[in-house]
Amino acid sequence: MTSSTGSAPINFQEKTFLVIDDAVGMRSSMRNTISTLGGTRIDMAGNGIEAINRLEQRAYDIILCDYDLGGGKDGQQLLEEAKRRKLIKNSTIFMMVTAERSYERIVSAAELVPDDYLIKPFAGEVLRLRLERLAEKKSYFSPVFALMDTQNYRRAIQVCDDLLNSPNQYKLDLMRLKAEICLLLGDYDTAGKLYKQILAIREIPWARMGLAKSMYHQNNFGDAVNTFKQVTENAPNYMEAYDWLAKSHSAAGDEQAAQRALMAVTEKSPRMLQRRKMLGETAYRNDDLETARDSYEAVLEFGKHSALTSPEDYANLSRVYIDQGKCDQAMTVLKDARKTFKNSPESLLHGAVMDSLAYQKSGNTEAAEAALKQALENFEACDNKRGSVSLDIARACFQLGDEETGKKVIEDFVQNNHDDRKILLHAEDMFRKIGMHDKGKEIITNSSREVIDLNNQAAQMAQAGDLRGSAELLMQAVAKHQGNTAMALNAAHAILTYMQAHGWDEEWGKSAKEYLTTVKNQEPDNQKYLMLSDLFKETAKNHGLQI
């Protein structure tokens, strides 16, 4: 039996619902509406924080979220945070409910969109028909979604191929899904070909966008710039295209063009925290301190109720104030950080080093040295040394004349991030700002060379057939450079290559798993991690192991 829309009816009694609305009366009304459809498993949340707490504890089938949640984050911000933190499964239906007739304009400018939205007031029958239509589509893709949720991407591609070989009404959606998985796995050539096939059928902005991403990942930055520009010209509200245009300009060495692209999109969509951070970083590198300050201030203002802000965001703003000679304002920002992240080791570390830089700028050398001493103690004890804090520590050391400590901090920092061009640019920029550009470049080059030489040696051993020796060398390197995720991934890859050829080794299997878990905890979306995680499962399966 099908509904009046032609979709199969849903057994709402089996579904779990989360209703998010700041008005008690509306939550009650929505519960009643869902009950009339047969739904009984209904949880409620009165604001974004409660909703995130619910999502952290349980996976829901259907989420109905009001756009206006009163104070704090709105429904769109909640959706973006939940998706970025992977609190919503691919199979979950997320429907925005709103009294804002302008929501269509809002959602058209959003990168992460709900599955659908409803304008209040609406009848229960309208909600039922919309949910049935969405459920039918989600159900068709459920075999692929289930594999994606367990990161079994190679198998997910096979299922996409099986579905594409049978008659269906979702051919373009399937091709899109397969291309997106190929991008995740780093198979950029196949992804690019799929997007070209889609574009041959129809000109669609997301397909043009995907093609440009495949170009970017193949280091074809010139064509990527032109293709991302094409997307922004044909679909001016496609915000993500501006971000990638900026990344492509930056990769091509044009930081001014990157900043222009970010400023253009920030004007259209001002509340995206990650974009504001990117603009702040780019403007700071370009010595545009006014734009950097505005961007970092916006991060703190719009991120006041978000879990996406961190002590580093406060340090970024205070660094700009220090460079502008506004040390009192820098100190006020640091005070706010200590209050917001009370007793957080990360906050204490950032606070101490920025205190040192502010005291140096205001001429109080004794206080600067005392603060740096505290910062170095915190730095030694802190587990999270990622981000800009290493550069700030090194800068404070060099400016106070402790070159030996500063050089050691930079060497560790570079060797743990030797293949991250963006991070190396930050390091080079730090040296330029303190008048040590040439010497700094020499330190960065020499520090990188040691790690690059080691990787090259391992690659040559593997090419010569010494797979075991190659893996052993990289495992020793991981022990020495524990913060280097690229090295951990190379070691995991070498182990898996060895075990594919010579059989499963229990201890080495544990080491590979440990390396992958380390990277997952730091960079869950790292494409090489996703590819190797898939390879790990395939290798284990080929040796009769259940992982």
pLDDT digits (tens, 9 = 90+) for 105-136: 555 545 567 888 888 878 888 999 999 989 88
Pairing of strands 62-66, 16-20: parallel
CA dist., res. 491 & res. 474, Å (int): 5
pLDDT of residue 332: 95
Angle at 76 (CA atoms; ends 260, 91), nearest 5 degrees:
115
CA distances (Å), 93 to each of 44, 113, 135, 521, in order? 16, 11, 7, 27
Rounded to the nearest 10 degrees, the angle between the axes of helix 239-251 and helix 273-285 is: 30
Q: Which residues pair with 66 in a beta bridge?
A: 97
pLDDT of residue 353: 96
Contacts 24+ apart (CB under 8 A), 291-299: 291/259, 291/263, 292/320, 293/317, 293/320, 293/321, 293/324, 295/266, 296/320, 298/270, 299/273
Helix (H, G, I), strand (E, B) or coil at 65: strand
pLDDT of residue 343: 80
pLDDT of residue 72: 67
pLDDT of residue 108: 52
Q: Which residues pair with 327 in a beta bridge?
A: none
CA dist., res. 85 & res. 112, Å (int): 13
CA distances (Å), 13 to each of 35, 115, 135, 244, 479, in order? 9, 21, 14, 43, 53
Q: Which residues pair with 19 in a beta bridge?
A: 44, 64
Which residue ranges in the chain fall short of pLDDT 70? Answer: 1-8, 71-72, 100-112, 305, 307, 384, 547
| Terminal Cα-to-Cα distance of the chain (whole angstroms) | 40
pLDDT of residue 6: 54
pLDDT of residue 293: 97
| Predicted structure pTM score | 0.78
CA dist., res. 23 & res. 191, Å (int): 45
pLDDT of residue 4: 47
Q: 116 near 130, Cβ under 8 Å?
A: yes
Query: Tell me: the pLDDT tens digits for 517-532?
Result: 998 888 877 878 888 9
Report residue 474 as tokens.
Answer: 């990289």
Q: 229 near 242, Cβ under 8 Å?
A: no
Q: Cβ neighbours of residue 367 under 8 Å, at least 6 residues apart?
A: 355, 359
pLDDT of residue 318: 97
Query: Per the omega criterion (within 30 degrees of 0), is the bond before 121 cis?
Result: yes
pLDDT of residue 305: 67
State the residue for tokens 């029958």. Answer: 125
CA dist., res. 101 & res. 117, Å (int): 11
pLDDT of residue 314: 95
Q: Cβ neighbours of residue 47 under 8 Å, at least 6 residues apart?
A: 20, 22, 69, 70, 71, 72
**Within a 13 Å sphere around the CA of 30, how many CA atoms are in the beta-carbon half?**
30
pLDDT of residue 109: 47
Q: Summarize the chain as % helix, strand, coil (round to 5).
A: 70, 5, 25
State the residue for tokens 């009339």. Answer: 36
